[in-house]
């Protein structure tokens, strides 16, 4: 009996212990998660409560001092670069390990490993686009051509790995505990992959849609609705710029082999609308103190943990501060004792598609001119949590991977299209940032940029010696006019890119007469630039508002520049609304509600401030009007893009009776007024519903800016309904899910004065008080002091740690 | 008395050894304590149960209160359990069961090893 009772109770105890240690379906093991000594309760502790005076970090040549300011911004003081980046890796991992790992797993197409089959389609696509392939080449390129940078990346990886090894179960980031997996070692490959991932986030193409539009509208219709330059072009490089170089000649083939029928395929996901950025620099002659001032605010998805992590990195030779990307070395947007720089996305069709004709079913060879070329195969092994490994075979042509084929995203059509993209080439972006961090003047800045390939960026620059500059840097293919706008025939060698624009012929400007340089993702240049420039997503509003203000302003102060980053002026509404009101005429005059909304719109000053009601009304009315105008066009089975808002508004303004406004399914001839009225009717219906269900329709409440955790299901780790203004196409580009992911203003005087902020916090731990503590200040347009600190500065220190 | 002793020593074990061993290390520890202290069956169960349950509730409450972190509430919301208080209760129940069966196992092990008593006066 006593034997029985012992073994019986023992069995219960063991069974209980096992039951709470294994996952039950989607529920993670309970005990490791709930155990207060190791589970999520340990993640309630903030970094200051866990501060250590000394931590062990091997392979350093000298001790490294890390000083955290009151915002938990680390200031790393190292004796040399190798120690500096080792420490950067270690410190970044301390605060952002889960995010670094998660983002690179996403970039590698390995999310299914963590979350199971729901992510398989996403992973397949990531891999078919060839990001990992590009990172492989990037790694090889560094090992062969730049051992110096490779060693620094290795030092960074070593720092990250030493942190991972020292990690106790209690300190494991809470996301690992919930999703029940562990960090794996970091590698230089992952740092390179991260930069490729940035390309993926920022670069899109609409070749599929344009191919379809060309088939549907014809060349003439296409150039009417999609002109390559807007009427009021206010480009990145000032229009007055004289191009003093002789361009390389490009041969346009006599006949162009485009697929002519409309293609029914699911397009790849594009960078979300609202992804963009502003940057500018004003010369001393326009500022109050006579010093150049530089400003930068990249607009990206608003996420937690924030994409950015602030740091100061100091060696005896230089001291640089600003925003870093967890996983990459150095500062990406920032300043040092001598210069400041910033980045905005320089979209310019860097992805092209080629139709591939395989010889036979085996797909081993494809037609190229008069020969059959061998294709390579890359077998993508995708691990899937709780399921068997998924194998995806991707053919690689000399153009690049065959992304679309008969088993991926082609709607029953037997088509094969290969993607050519600069991201598939070996490149050395990391060197650019490491050199930029140490740059002392304009020559150093240019030298740093000479190593930069993708994603192309508008690099703004200002120096303490008074220079301001802008250079659009990336590897841009030489294209004949129209090349790469549509899918091309890969069997025809004359469809190839004919090389690249030499870097010294990339658009750039130094100290222009107008006293400022600026960029806001608009057209890079004026039509006088001798190379073909095309992209579907150029901005038409932020750039004009920005340049207008910069032209007007004199005696500029840092405060003026902060105000400009937070500027809520809605230029699109200012141009479109009067036209819409005029086209509406006396429609719905006896409807009281309609008159209430109209009078709110009529009295609007066009600022999309959070408490204003008109921006919500305008947002609905304008989008419904455009929806109505282009309904015929987008109802095709083949995917297309709509003409942009700028073009639509121009048509409504200048030619309201144009045939594009006619709805083909009705016998009557419709004009722009018809669509404006239809949009207005929808507005009334939408507002009735909104007022009944939600009540308040002030702008902040309507747009509901949300800063979302990287795992969208983790709703309680997100911050929603942030009270702030702005929106897409507005300098303060804060929409509901996108916006200024980092704001920086730097005055380059004798002493550098710098301010910065981002919508998040330094800690990646949702339980920490430093996780989201910047958000309310960011939402109010406030900034943190970002001045450089010295090693022994005592004020505002949260704690100090020595790594040795 | 032995029950009280087991409860107290188990709490100490959970608080001081807990950070260094996984939860099943504590279960073995409580079993061992129960073996050494040798309370009665029900006392062994309750002693281990209250020791681990109260220990865990204490630590989680302490962490939640001193850090003032929103994480317990966020986790409660994430797990569909409402607030962090529910999680504290869940931690308590979990500790209670794990500790209780560990305590009982320990004392039953001792009983098993003890030679069967023979009534020498009646024999």
* A491-522 residue pLDDT tens: 888 889 989 999 999 999 999 999 999 999 99
Whether pLDDT at A407 is above 80? no
HSE-CB of A393 using CA atoms within 13 angstroms: 8
pLDDT at residue A234 tops 70: yes
Say yes or no for a CB contact (<8 Å) between B105 and A34: no
Interface membership of A685 toward B (CB under 8 Å):
no
Say whether A767 and B56 touch across the interface (CB within 8 A).
no
**Is A488 or A609 the better-scoring residue by pLDDT?**
A609
Q: State whether A2 and B108 contact (CB < 8 Å).
A: yes
Which residues of chain A does B97 touch, with a Cβ-Cβ cutoff of 8 Å? 16
Of A9, A31, A36, which is closest to B104 when you measure between CB atoms? A9
Judge contact between A736 and A748, C-beta under 8 A.
Answer: no
Per-residue pLDDT tens over the stretch A615-646: 999 999 999 999 999 999 988 888 899 999 99
Tokens 């960074």 belong to which residue? A156
| Cβ–Cβ contact A769 with B under 8 A | yes
The total number of residues shown for chain A amounts to: 804
- What is the C-alpha to C-alpha distance for residues A579 and A623, in angstroms, rounded to an integer? 15
Evaluate if residue B61 carries a pLDDT over 80.
yes
Chain segment A700-711, per-residue pLDDT in tens = 999 999 999 999
Average pLDDT over residues A187-209: 87
Residues of A with Cβ-Cβ distance to B102 under 8 angstroms: 13
Instruction: Tell which of A12, A36, A38, A763 to mutate to test the B interface (max B CBs under 10 Å).
Output: A36
Q: Do A10 and B109 touch (CB under 8 A)?
A: yes
**Residue to substitute from A3, A9, A47, interface B, most B β-carbons within 10 A:** A9
User: Does A536 score more than 90 pLDDT?
Assistant: no
Q: What digits encode the pLDDT tens for the residues B39-48?
A: 888 888 999 9
Question: What pLDDT, on a 0 to 100 scale, did the predictor assign at position A23?
Answer: 83
Q: Is the pLDDT of residue B8 over 90?
A: yes
| DSSP state at residue A32 | H
**Binary contact (A767, B67; C-beta < 8 A):** yes
Whether the full predicted model's pTM is greater than 0.90, yes or no, is: yes
Q: Best mutation site among A37, A49, A708, A720 for testing chain B: the one with the most B CBs within 10 Å?
A: A37
The pLDDT, as a whole number, for residue B117 is 61
Number of A–B residue contacts, CB under 8 Å: 118
Position A259 confidence tier, pLDDT thresholds 50, 70, 90: low
Q: B47: distance to nearest CA of chain A, Å?
A: 15
Per-residue pLDDT at A398 exceeds 90: yes
CB-based contact B22 A767, cutoff 8 Å: no
Residue A749 near residue A289, CB atoms below 8 Å: yes
Greatest CA span in chain A, whole angstroms?
Answer: 100
Question: Does the pLDDT of residue B111 top 90, yes or no?
Answer: no
Identify the pLDDT of residue B119. 61
Which is it for strands A743-748 and A54-55: parallel, antiparallel or unpaired?
unpaired
Q: What is the pLDDT of residue A219?
A: 86
Q: Which residues of A touch B78 (CB under 8 A)?
A: 178, 714-717
Q: Does A711 touch chain B (CB under 8 A)?
A: no
Per-residue pLDDT tens digits for A299-338? 988 999 999 999 999 999 999 999 999 999 999 999 999 9
Residue A68 β-bridge partners? A74, A799
Task: Name A408's bridge partners.
Answer: A405
- The answer, yes or no, to whether residue B120 has pLDDT greater than 70, is no
A28 pLDDT more than 90: no
pLDDT for A641-691, tens place per residue? 999 999 999 999 999 999 999 998 899 999 999 999 999 999 999 999 999
Q: Are the Cβ atoms of B90 and A766 closer than 8 angstroms?
A: no
pLDDT digits (tens, 9 = 90+) for A44-102: 999 999 999 999 999 999 999 999 999 999 999 999 999 999 999 999 999 999 999 99
Nearest residue in chain A measured CA to CA from B101? A13
Are the beta carbons of A17 and B68 separated by less than 8 Å?
Answer: no
pLDDT at A125 over 80: yes
The DSSP bridge pattern shows strands A351-355 and A417-421 to be antiparallel
Residue A638: φ, ψ to 5°: -80, 135
Indicate whether A545 pLDDT > 90: yes
A2 against A448, higher pLDDT: A448
Q: Is A38 close to B77, i.e. CB distance below 8 A?
A: no
Q: How far, rounded to the nearest angstrom, does the alpha carbon of residue B84 sit from its chain's CA centroid?
A: 21
| A12 touching B (Cβ < 8 Å) | yes
Predicted confidence (pLDDT) at residue A432 exceeds the cutoff of 90: yes
Tokens of A376: 């390579």
CA distance A765 to chain B (A): 9
Chain A residues lying within 8 Å of B67, measured CB to CB = 44-46, 49, 767
Contact assignment for B69 to A44 by CB distance below 8 Å? yes
pLDDT at A360: 87
Q: Which residue has the higher pLDDT, A490 or A24?
A: A490
Token pair 């800045």 is at which residue?
A: A445
pLDDT tens digits along B67-95: 999 999 999 998 888 888 899 999 999 99
- Note the pLDDT of residue A283: 97
* Confidence at residue B123, expressed as pLDDT on a 0 to 100 scale: 44
With an 8 Å Cβ cutoff, are B67 and A10 in contact? no
For residue A154, what pLDDT band results from cuts at 50, 70 and 90? very high
Strands (E), A589-725: 705-709, 719-722
Beta strands at A488-489 and A351-355: parallel, antiparallel or unpaired: parallel
Q: Give the closest residue to A683 by CA, choosing from A608, A605, A627.
A: A627
Contact B71 A767 (CB under 8 A): yes
Inter-chain residue contact B91 with A43, CB threshold 8 Å: no
Predicted pLDDT of residue A38:
93
Determine contact, residues A101/A327, Cβ cutoff 8 Å: no
**Among the residues of A712-781, which ranges form H helices?**
775-779
Confidence tier at A198 by pLDDT (50, 70, 90): confident
Q: Is the complex ipTM more than 0.90?
A: yes
Test mutation, A1, A15, A35, A49, chain B, max B CBs within 10 A: A35
Whether residue A359 contacts residue A366, with contact meaning beta carbons closer than 8 Å, is answered with yes
CB contact under 8 A, A34 and B78: no
- Residue numbers in B near A28 (CB within 8 A): none
pLDDT of residue B116: 65
Please give the Cα distance from A576 to A568 (Å, whole number).
Answer: 16
């Amino acid at each position: 009996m006593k034997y029985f009772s012992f073994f019986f109770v023992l069995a219960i105890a063991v069974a209980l212990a096992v039951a709470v240690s294994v996952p039950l379906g989607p529920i993670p093991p309970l005990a490791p998660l709930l155990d207060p000594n190791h589970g999520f309760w340990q993640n309630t502790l903030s970094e200051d409560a866990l501060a250590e005076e000394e931590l062990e970090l091997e392979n350093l040549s000298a001790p490294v001092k890390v000083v955290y300011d009151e915002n938990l911004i680390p200031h790393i003081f190292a004796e040399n670069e190798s120690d500096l980046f080792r420490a950067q890796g270690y410190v970044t991992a301390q605060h952002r390990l889960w995010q670094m790992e998660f983002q690179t797993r996403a970039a590698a197409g390995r999310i299914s490993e963590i979350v199971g089959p729901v992510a398989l389609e996403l992973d397949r696509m990531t891999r078919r686009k060839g990001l990992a392939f590009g990172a492989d080449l990037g790694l090889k390129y560094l090992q062969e051509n730049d051992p110096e940078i490779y060693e620094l990346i290795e030092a960074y990886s070593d720092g990250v790995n030493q942190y991972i090894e020292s990690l106790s179960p209690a300190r494991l980031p809470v996301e690992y505990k919930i999703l029940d997996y562990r960090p794996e070692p970091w590698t230089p490959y992952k740092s390179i992959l991260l930069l490729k991932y940035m390309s993926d986030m920022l670069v899109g193409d609409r070749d599929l849609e344009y191919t379809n539009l060309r088939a549907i509208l014809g060349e003439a219709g296409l150039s009417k609705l999609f002109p390559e330059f807007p009427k009021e072009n206010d480009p990145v490089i000032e229009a007055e710029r004289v191009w003093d170089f002789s361009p390389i000649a490009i041969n346009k083939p006599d006949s162009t082999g485009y697929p002519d029928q409309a293609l029914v395929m699911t397009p790849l996901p594009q960078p979300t609308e609202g992804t963009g950025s502003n940057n500018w620099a004003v010369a001393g002659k326009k500022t109050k103190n006579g010093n150049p001032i530089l400003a930068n605010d990249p607009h990206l998805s608003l996420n937690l943990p924030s994409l950015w992590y602030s740091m100061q990195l100091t060696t005896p030779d230089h001291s640089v501060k600003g925003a870093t990307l967890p996983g990459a070395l150095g500062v990406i947007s920032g300043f040092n004792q001598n210069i400041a720089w910033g980045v905005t996305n320089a979209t310019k069709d860097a992805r092209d598609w080629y139709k591939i004709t395989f010889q036979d079913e085996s797909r081993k060879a494809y037609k190229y001119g008069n020969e059959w070329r061998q294709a390579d195969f890359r077998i993508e092994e995708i691990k899937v949590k709780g399921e068997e490994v998924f194998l995806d075979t991707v053919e690689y042509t000399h153009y690049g991977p065959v992304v679309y084929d008969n088993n991926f995203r082609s709607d029953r059509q037997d088509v094969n299209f290969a993607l050519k993209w600069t991201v598939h080439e070996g490149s050395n972006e990391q060197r650019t940032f490491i050199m930029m961090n140490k740059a002392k003047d304009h020559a150093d800045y240019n030298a740093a940029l000479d190593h930069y390939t993708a994603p192309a960026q508008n690099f703004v620059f200002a120096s303490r010696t008074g220079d301001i500059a802008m250079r659009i840097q990336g590897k841009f293919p030489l294209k004949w006019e129209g090349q790469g706008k549509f899918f091309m025939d890969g069997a025809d060698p004359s469809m190839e890119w004919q090389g690249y624009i030499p870097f010294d012929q990339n658009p750039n400007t130094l100290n222009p007469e107008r006293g400022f340089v600026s960029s806001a993702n608009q057209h890079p240049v004026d039509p006088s630039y001798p190379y073909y420039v095309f992209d579907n997503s150029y901005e038409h509003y932020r750039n004009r508002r920005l340049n207008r203000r910069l032209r007007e302003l004199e005696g500029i102060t840092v405060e003026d520049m902060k105000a400009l980053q937070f500027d809520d002026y809605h230029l699109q509404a200012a141009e479109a609304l009067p036209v819409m009101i005029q086209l509406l005429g006396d429609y719905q005059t006896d409807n009281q509600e309609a008159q209430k909304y109209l009078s709110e719109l009529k009295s609007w000053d066009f600022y999309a401030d959070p408490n204003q009601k008109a921006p919500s009304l305008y947002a609905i009315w304008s989008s419904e009007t455009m929806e109505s105008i282009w309904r015929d066009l987008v109802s095709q089975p083949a995917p297309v893009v709509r003409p942009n808002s700028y073009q639509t508004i121009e048509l409504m303004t200048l030619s309201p009776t144009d045939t594009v406004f006619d709805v083909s399914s009705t016998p009557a001839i419709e004009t722009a007024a018809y669509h404006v009225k239809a949009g207005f009717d929808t507005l009334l219906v939408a507002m009735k519903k909104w007022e009944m269900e939600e009540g308040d329709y002030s702008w902040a409440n309507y747009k509901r800016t949300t800063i979302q955790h990287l795992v969208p299901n983790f709703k309680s780790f997100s911050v929603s309904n942030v009270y702030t203004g702005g929106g897409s196409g507005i300098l303060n580009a804060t929409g509901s899910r996108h916006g200024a992911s980092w704001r920086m203003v730097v005055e380059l005087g004798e002493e550098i004065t710098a301010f910065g902020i981002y919508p998040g916090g330094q800690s990646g731990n949702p339980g920490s008080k430093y996780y989201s503590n910047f958000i309310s200040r960011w939402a109010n347009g406030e900034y943190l002091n970002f001045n450089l600190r010295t090693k022994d500065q005592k004020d505002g220190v949260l704690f100090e740690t020595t790594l040795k | 008395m032995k029950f009280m002793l087991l409860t107290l020593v188990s709490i100490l074990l959970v608080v001081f050894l807990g950070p260094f061993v996984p939860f099943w290390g504590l279960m073995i520890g409580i079993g061992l304590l129960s073996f050494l202290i040798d309370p009665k069956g029900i006392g062994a169960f309750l002693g281990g149960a209250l020791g681990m349950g109260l220990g865990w509730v204490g630590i989680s409450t302490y962490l939640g209160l001193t850090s003032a972190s929103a994480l317990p509430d966020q986790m409660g919301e994430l797990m569909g359990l409402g607030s962090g208080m529910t999680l504290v209760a869940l931690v308590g129940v979990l500790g209670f069961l794990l500790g209780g069966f560990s305590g009982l196992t320990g004392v039953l092990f001792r009983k098993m090893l003890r030679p069967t008593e023979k009534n020498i006066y009646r024999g």
